[in-house]
Structure 1
Amino acid sequence: MKVAIVHDWLTTWAGAEKALAELASCFPQAEIFTTVNFLASDELPALKGRVIHTSLIQRLPFARKHYRRYLPLMPLAIEQFDLKGFDLILSSSHAVAKGVLCDPGAVHICYCYSPMRYAWDMQHQYLRQTGKARGVASWLMRWQLHRLRQWDFISAQRVDHFVAISHYIKRRIARCYRRDAEVIYPPVQVERFRHDRPRDEFYFTASRMVPYKRIDLIIDAFNRMPDKRLVVIGDGPDRARLSAMAGPNVSVLGYQPDDVLVDYLERARAFLFMAEEDFGILPVEAQAAGAPVIGYGVGGLSETTLDGITGLWVAEQTSAGLIERVRQFEQRRRSEPDAFSPTACRQSAERFATANFRRAILSLVEQHLNR
């Protein structure tokens, strides 16, 4: 069987790329197709030795730094890949990968992280963040996003079977594409973490520092709880602003290597997460490390944590809501020393182990190929 795996772009090694690596491990003979690949060979250990095909965008001026500016060209670029002769196409998609043109006899399964957020429900936020909410440039951008939505919907109809990373995304796929989807949660390397280390007296969060992650809410909450300590790891466009607003009880450490991140997860009293996320790997990694999660109980977090058992859900995306739940968390820990146990957290995280992901993907592919 000839297999192609199509990924949007390879510019960083994050959650989608970790899922791509596991998909590739399921199909050792698969060839990889992507619009651009700007990762060094040592950043792609999981894809070492693979044939990786790139699109015309790879060779365009300034693409390495500004590949996102070529988004209007990406639908055309992804459709130029020649997949004739491939029996199985797996697209790993949050943007354009699902739009490849396949042989009529091929089976195309899309592992979908989300419909294109900036073209659908996050369009207005995207325009504000890029400084194009008003004026002539705004209307040009709105027209481009309108055309992108049209292509996104049409290209979704080429997919034979959708797989969503969460039930939250399954509903978004139904709303945007009018398509049903099965749910297979992304893989998390839970075996990397120990859950039996002593817990320290600090709370912890880690994230890319961009507005929708709502690190500002977490810092504001702890500024108003000066008797509690918060440690923040992460980097991004918002880092300077977030560092400036942090009080003396809040330590913003910026980017840290993976072993430091693991160490903090294994020792934290609890992990905090206030983003409305499609899935969210870090809350699962926190539970794998034995840390309960206190976070906004919408989106993926409502599927990956067990309210009252491996953490507490915050009802409103506000600092006041987080403060209330942190206080309830501490009261419960005082009255029930065994509440939110590291063992319960680890057992919850095991649901998302890489072995489970591989079994589910292989079973689904076999099921659809044999129809």
Structure 2
Amino acid sequence: MKVAIVHDWLVVSGGAEKVLQQIIECFPNADIFTLVDFLEDRTCIKGRPVQSSFIQKLPFAKKRYRGYLPLMPLAIEQIDLSGYDLVISSSYAVAKGVLTGPDQLHVSYVHSPIRYAWDLQHQYLKESGLSKGFKSILARILLHYIRGWDARSANGVDYLIANSHFIARRIKKAYQRESTVIYPPVDVRSLSVRAQKDDFYLTASRMVPYKRIDMIVRAFSMTPERRLVVIGDGPDMEKVKAVAGPNVQIMGYQSFEVLRDHMQRARAFVYAAEEDFGISIIEAQACGTPVITYGKGGALETVIGMPRERPTGVFFQEQSAEALVDAVERFERNSHLFDPNVCRENAERFSTEKFKASLSAFIEVRLARFRSETAVAPRPARSETPATVTRIGEASNAEERVAVRHQ
């Protein structure tokens, strides 16, 4: 059986690429396709060769590949997968739009429908400075086109997998399709619990607007008695530095080893984004570290919030510095309720082993069903009994209606 795996683009190694890595482990002989491949760390693809689209060769594609969004639907449709029996797409943009035939099974692991084309369009336009003006009009027209294509391309997928129940609801809203939830893999084996915590809070993320790192820093700057460590880099770095008080340590980008060490030692991990799933939230819990996070999106499925029994975190309901300060205070008043081993136990629900077992079983069952449905049914043997014509009644317009009956 020939298998193809399609991923949107390979530029940096993030959460979606961790999922891709485990899909490849499930299907180690699969061929890999993507729009552009500029990945330096090849760990997630096991050093395998990757076939890219024509966008790879366009000017400035390495740094400005997102600018070719208008061409991405066309580009993904030009990838020829006609020689494959099973196609697995890992999609948060256009990967699920690859063209497949009726004799091919296409399973798509959907990290999310294109966020900036659907319910997050207005937030995206605002954060990109495209709320008004001629460029705003062009952006809205483009997103309207992308939205229509995205909905149509969902019809070409045989089975949809969502990375959370939150995304399953978004899929239902956007595509009017049901999906099966298989949570993304988290390498909890590489993380260990440290029961003794140091007196600092940690946040770690790429510094982009929707992550709200500046809001977290502002909240801790309002409470100088609490120490915050910030790990990560990105376009909002200067904005974050501008609001940081002396109690905030901004470390920039750090290796996973440094991040892991801080996750293990932190009093709590702080997160303010509305995420589809949120792998770093799970990683913190795998280190035995409670989480203080925005109570919306995938976090509601991965964190056991107060006042539930055996909590692993605290939610705040508004993305504001004041709401976060209140959540930290609630955490400190109830810190005795948080058990590092309970946090670890909760994180183990999302292990790589469970992901691979669930994905493999899902595809195995659907593949067997697909083969059964597409098998050519044998033609019934032709009867050697001569047919007779029987008059069954008076016909209109002076014509006789007859029925052919095999005796």
Q: Quick one: which amino acid aligns to residue 328 of structure 2?
A: V
- Aligned twin of 1:315: 317
Q: Quick one: which amino acid aligns to residue 321 of structure 2?
A: S
- Aligned twin of 1:290: 288
Structure 1 portions without partners, runs of 5+: none
User: How far is the alpha carbon of 1:134 from its aligned partner?
Assistant: 2.1
- Aligned twin of 1:91: 89
Partners of 1:168 and 1:285 lie apart in 2 by 20
Secondary structure of residue in 1 paired with 2:334: helix
Partners of 1:358 and 1:36 lie apart in 2 by 26
**Residues 195, 340 of structure 2: 8 Å contact kept:** no
Compute the RMSD of aligned alpha carbons.
1.1
- Aligned twin of 1:10: 10
Secondary structure of residue in 1 paired with 2:156: coil
Higher CA-based Rg = 2
**Residues 17, 44 of structure 2: 8 Å contact kept:** no
Is the counterpart of residue 260 in structure 1 residue 258 in structure 2? yes
- Aligned twin of 1:190: 188
- Aligned twin of 1:34: 34
- Aligned twin of 1:54: 52
Does 1 or 2 have the higher relative contact order (CA < 8 Å, sep 6+)? 1
Equivalent runs, 1:104-253 vs 2, <5 Å? 104-253=102-251
Percent sequence identity over matched residues?
Answer: 54
**Residues 20, 44 of structure 2: 8 Å contact kept:** no
Secondary structure of residue in 2 paired with 1:253: strand
User: How far is the alpha carbon of 1:123 from its aligned partner?
Assistant: 1.6
Secondary structure of residue in 2 paired with 1:74: helix
Structure 2 portions without partners, runs of 5+: 370-407
Partners of 2:282 and 2:135 lie apart in 1 by 40
Equivalent runs, 1:15-26 vs 2, <5 Å? 15-26=15-26
User: How far is the alpha carbon of 1:197 from its aligned partner?
Assistant: 4.8
Q: What is the aligned length?
A: 365
Secondary structure of residue in 1 paired with 2:101: coil
Q: 2:327 aligns with which of 312, 325, 328?
A: 325
Secondary structure of residue in 1 paired with 2:252: coil
User: How far is the alpha carbon of 1:253 from its aligned partner?
Assistant: 1.1
Cα distance per residue 1:208-230 (max 9 Å; x no partner)? 11111111221122122111111
Secondary structure of residue in 1 paired with 2:33: strand
Distance 1:264 1:49, change over 3 A: closer
Cα distance per residue 1:121-159 (max 9 Å; x no partner)? 122222233333222222122111111111000001111
Q: Normalization by structure 2: what TM-score? A: 0.88
User: How far is the alpha carbon of 1:183 from its aligned partner?
Assistant: 0.3
